[in-house]
């Protein structure tokens, strides 16, 4: 049975209000001896304040709900870790919900966090392949009276605070790098093109080609998922299109291409140049180190936490739509076209 504040008071021989003053560090004159007695009782009874009761009094739970589409992906793992560290510095706890990109699960977590009266929600996916699902999530969000900030997979939801990276520029930088190396048949290995992040990267790819008077070939776009499996499946398909380079829409896809190249006895970059997106933790460790377009995860987390804290303090704050720039990291997986 969970100890209550009354149990602690009884064990220490003081009133419940004295216990409350002490555990909440209220500026009231209490003797050192009484403080020690109370803290000893707290320890012995393993007392923890009931956060629901505290919330009813303070109207805050000091907790943020963070909803991620794929916590197994190092990009999201690093982003959520950065957000947690920064919020913990403000004595705010984070509860994470992983949705596997499923809109129904996203709505379940929105309801769970709302029912638990979190002080805010950080939503890393409000963009789904099925536009109806996106609309259902938006409808639910409008019914929830809790500050919500969007990050990364932001639908075109202008009336919410959002933090994202310029996804079209990601595609443009990756493609331009390969074009500068003389590649003209550049394959794309992507997740669903119905996701904004992927369609925007593909738009950047097309823009870079057109700038050099090259006509994008739709046969060079392979769509599956933002996963290692996509890279494994994409390689034979794109090799059949005589590509000399592949733009993988994230590093996990690039890892799949690396893996499958072994089965085709292809060397990277000698036989095939590969560029990724995200600059996740293994990308400069694998052989050859992966050329990739990095997303500024620490900066994303800074803006998300700042926006969340502002929204919690001033609910009707002027919404910001922060758009950050990606950074090209040239390593050893790309080389001059032969």
Cβ at position 226, least distance to ligand RIB in Å: 5
Maximum Cα interatomic distance, the chain, rounded to a whole number of Å: 85
Based on CB atoms, which residue is closest to ligand RIB, 73 or 99?
A: 73
Based on CB atoms, which residue is closest to ligand RIB, 47 or 76?
A: 76
What the block records as the tokens of 313 is 């303090």
Cβ at position 1, least distance to ligand RIB in Å: 45
Judged by CB under 6 A, the chain residues 273 through 312 that form the site for ligand RIB are 277-278
Cβ at position 271, least distance to ligand RIB in Å: 25
Is the bond leading into 288 cis (omega within 30 degrees of zero)? Answer: yes
Ramachandran quadrant class, 165 (left: phi over 0; alpha: psi -120 to 50; beta: rest):
beta
Q: Can residue 63 be called a binding residue for ligand RIB (CB under 6 A)? A: no
Among 47, 75, 113, 247, binds ligand RIB (CB under 6 A): 75
| Rounded Cα–Cα distance for residues 50 and 3 (Å) | 10
Question: Radius of gyration over alpha carbons of the chain, in Å?
Answer: 25
Based on CB atoms, which residue is closest to ligand RIB, 3 or 324?
A: 324
Among 37, 86, 107, 153, binds ligand RIB (CB under 6 A): 153
Q: Lay out the site mask for ligand RIB across 239-268 (x = CB under 6 A, - = otherwise).
A: -----------x-x----------------
| Contact between residue 175 and residue 186 where contact means Cβ atoms under 8 Å apart | yes
Length of the chain: 338
| Contact between residue 100 and residue 69 where contact means Cβ atoms under 8 Å apart | yes
What the block records as the tokens of 204 is 């950047």
Cβ at position 280, least distance to ligand RIB in Å: 7
Q: Can residue 73 be called a binding residue for ligand RIB (CB under 6 A)? A: yes
Q: Can residue 160 be called a binding residue for ligand RIB (CB under 6 A)? A: no
Cβ at position 50, least distance to ligand RIB in Å: 38
Query: How many amino acids of this chain bind ligand RIB (CB under 6 A)?
Result: 10
| Rounded Cα–Cα distance for residues 99 and 97 (Å) | 6
Look at residues 234, 235, 246 and name the one whose alpha carbon lies nearest to residue 185.
246
Look at residues 86, 93, 149, 137 and name the one whose alpha carbon lies nearest to residue 118.
93
Look at residues 95, 159, 92, 164 and name the one whose alpha carbon lies nearest to residue 125.
164
Q: Can residue 197 be called a binding residue for ligand RIB (CB under 6 A)? A: yes
Cβ at position 126, least distance to ligand RIB in Å: 11
What the block records as the tokens of 272 is 């095939």
Is the bond leading into 22 cis (omega within 30 degrees of zero)? Answer: no
β-partners of residue 153 are: 125
Based on CB atoms, which residue is closest to ligand RIB, 100 or 336?
A: 100
Cβ at position 107, least distance to ligand RIB in Å: 19
Among 84, 152, 224, 260, binds ligand RIB (CB under 6 A): 152
Which residues form the interface with ligand RIB (CB under 6 A)? 73, 75, 152-153, 197, 226, 250, 252, 277-278
């Amino acid at each position: 049975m969970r100890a209550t504040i009354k149990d602690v008071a009884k064990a220490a021989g003081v009133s419940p209000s004295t216990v409350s003053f002490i555990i909440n560090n209220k500026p009231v004159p209490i003797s050192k001896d009484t403080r020690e007695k109370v803290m000893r009782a707290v320890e012995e009874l393993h007392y923890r304040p009931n956060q629901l009761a505290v919330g009813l009094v303070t109207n805050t739970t000091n907790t943020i709900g963070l909803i991620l589409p794929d916590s197994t992906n190092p990009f999201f793992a690093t982003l959520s870790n950065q957000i947690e560290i920064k919020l913990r510095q403000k004595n705010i706890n984070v509860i994470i919900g992983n949705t596997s990109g499923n809109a129904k699960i996203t709505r379940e977590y929105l309801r769970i966090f709302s029912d638990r009266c979190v002080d805010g929600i950080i939503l890393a996916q409000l963009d789904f392949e099925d536009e109806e699902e996106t609309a259902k999530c938006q409808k639910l969000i409008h019914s929830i009276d809790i500050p919500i900030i969007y990050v990364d997979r932001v639908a075109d939801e202008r009336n919410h605070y959002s933090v994202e990276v310029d996804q079209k520029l990601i595609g443009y930088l990756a493609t331009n790098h390969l074009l500068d190396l003389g590649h003209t048949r550049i394959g794309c290995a992507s997740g669903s093109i119905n996701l904004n992040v992927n369609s925007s990267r593909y738009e950047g790819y097309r823009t870079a080609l057109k700038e050099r008077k090259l006509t994008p070939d739709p046969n060079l776009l392979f769509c599956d998922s933002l996963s290692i499996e996509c890279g494994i499946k994409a390689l034979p398909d794109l090799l059949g299109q005589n590509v000399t380079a592949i733009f993988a829409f994230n590093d996990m896809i690039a890892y799949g291409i690396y893996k499958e190249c072994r089965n085709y006895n292809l060397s990277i970059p000698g036989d095939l140049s590969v560029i990724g997106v995200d600059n996740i933790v293994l990308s400069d460790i694998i052989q050859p180190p992966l050329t990739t377009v990095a997303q500024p995860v620490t900066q994303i987390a800074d803006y998300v936490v700042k926006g969340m804290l502002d929204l919690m303090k001033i609910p009707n704050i002027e919404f910001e739509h922060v758009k950050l720039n990606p950074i090209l990291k040239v390593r050893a997986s790309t080389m001059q076209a032969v």
